């Protein structure tokens, strides 16, 4: 199988069992050529993987900085100047869709689920112009995928965290 663009890291792919106990592969990619990111669902088609569904338009003009798939929801962070945290509804693999979006300054380079309704983001705070200023920890309430909210934020000016590139 093939998808457009490139993967960020191991969290950019997730296997899940779909209807009729069919294994599906969910993949988040950024295509530098069209400066757009996608979540694509692949399923078996004879001896190859074929596209089952796809949603694009994530962070147009930006690239993916972190991804996490949790159950039927995908969380995708893109960045250039701001950090859109997208929640992607994957409940219907043939029609994935953006359920919600939260725009913030900076970005989360690592996302970690905490229970069913919270997500921890570790990354960099940034100015409105996209200049990074130091480590940022964010706690997100994702109980309503259509309306993700940041509950808490801690910034550490001038700092960086290894968790941004090594979970």
Strand spans (E) along 11-117 = 13-17, 23-31, 36-45, 48-58, 63-70, 73-79, 82-89, 97-105, 107-114
Which is nearest to 69 in space by CA: 7, 122, 24, 27? 27
pLDDT tens digits along 24-46: 999 999 999 988 999 999 999 99
- Judging by beta carbons within 10 Å of its beta carbon (0-12, 13-18, 19+), is residue 127 exposed, middle or buried? exposed
Q: What is the pLDDT of residue 3?
A: 95
| Residue 85 confidence (pLDDT) above 90 | yes
DSSP state of 101: E
pLDDT tens digits along 93-129: 999 999 999 999 999 999 999 998 999 999 999 999 9
> How many percent of the chain have pLDDT more than 70?
100
Residue 24, classed as helix, strand or coil, is strand
């Amino acid at each position: 199988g093939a998808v457009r663009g490139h993967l960020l890291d191991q969290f950019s792919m997730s296997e899940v069992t779909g209807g009729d106990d069919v294994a599906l592969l969910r993949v988040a990619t950024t295509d530098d050529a069209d400066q757009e990111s996608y979540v694509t669902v692949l399923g078996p088609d004879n001896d190859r993987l074929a596209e089952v569904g796809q949603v694009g338009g994530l962070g147009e003009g930006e690239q993916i900085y972190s991804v996490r798939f949790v159950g039927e929801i995908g969380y995708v962070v893109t960045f250039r100047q701001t950090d859109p945290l997208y929640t992607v509804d994957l409940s219907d693999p043939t029609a994935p869709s953006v359920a919600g979006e939260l725009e913030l300054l900076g970005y989360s380079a690592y996302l970690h689920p905490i229970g069913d309704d919270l997500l921890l983001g570790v990354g960099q705070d940034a100015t409105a112009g996209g200049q990074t200023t130091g480590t940022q920890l964010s706690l997100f309430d994702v109980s309503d995928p259509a309306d993700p909210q940041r509950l808490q934020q801690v910034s550490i000016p001038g700092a960086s965290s290894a968790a941004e590139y090594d979970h």
